Amino acid sequence: MRWRKMGLLFQPKGQFDWVVSHAYVPFALQLAEQRFRVYFAGRNKENKAQAGYLEVSIDTPGGDLYISHEPVLRLGKPGLFDDAAVGPAWIVKRGSQLLMYYWGWMRGLSAPYYSAIGLATSEDGGRTFAKYSEAPILDRNEVDPYSTTLCCVMAEGDLWRMWYTSMVDFRVRDNKPMYYYHIKYCESKDGVRWARRGLVSIDFKDRHETRITRPCVIREGDRYKMWYCCAVDRYRLGYAESIDGVSWVRKDEEVGVDASETGWDSEMICYPFVFEHGGRKYMLYNGNRYGETGLGYAILEEG
């Protein structure tokens, strides 16, 4: 694989109160032949994230650009699992309804934050979402005792599959608090109640790797393909393949894209979302400082 970077798609500059800074963890939903709605998390002046979107023509991204004036998903009430941050992770169509799996944070004391996965639904094509519950659908338990966060969901017939980020340890490293997390797999019959068995899809490659997150899975023929971001120090992108969607082989050397020498994505490249359009693969991704510099896109060059 080789990805050709096309530059910034959007740079947050305080366009609205909910997007004073950052535009991270993007997800693209096709509205028309060329027009896409890109959901992402923006941060307000209190540095709390909420979910909103922009609409753009994917082939002429510098043209007509619309940004939602208000978030489509707001913070939970004080004390709830999502009172400090909410952001879109994945969206699945179910009939006329859209299901948004989102990540929520609440701030901690002994650790900086605790996160879990929630569910919201839309009946108006994704312009607004209502939370399914004030409680998360994937919280801490004996399989995931620390936290859960960014996920990818795929419905195949009566089987719902989820690849999700699981925190497995917390340490203080170089005087800084650090979660350690990798990607696990679970299944459901309805997309709401999930059976977790502790199946690890993408594990640490060695003792130096600390973080693996933001799984993005597509199915091509007889195999599944996953993109994600991983870090020893700063995030880079990784890639893996699987026959059954459960057991994966890491092929990070084939990912075909890296941080730039200079500019908005020179320090970090993270949170990939890969989708197909017009017979080509597109990738949305974030750059420096976890999306503070904005979100960009790349196109896969064949051959």
pLDDT cut 70: percent of the chain above it: 98
Q: Does the pLDDT of residue 27 top 70, yes or no?
A: yes
Q: Does the pLDDT of residue 4 top 90, yes or no?
A: yes
- Residue 175 C-alpha from the chain's centroid: 28
pLDDT averaged over the chain? 96
Mean pLDDT of 101-108: 97
Both tokens assigned to 208: 């130096």
Q: Does the pLDDT of residue 55 top 90, yes or no?
A: yes
- Looking up residue 273, the CATH number of its domain turns out to be 2.115.10.20
Nearest residue to 190 (alpha-carbon basis) of 92, 43, 52 = 92
Report DSSP state, residue 252: G
CB 138 within 8 A of CB 150: no
Q: Does the pLDDT of residue 302 top 80, yes or no?
A: no
Nearest residue to 202 (alpha-carbon basis) of 170, 237, 233, 246 = 246
Domain that includes residue 11, residue range: 3-300
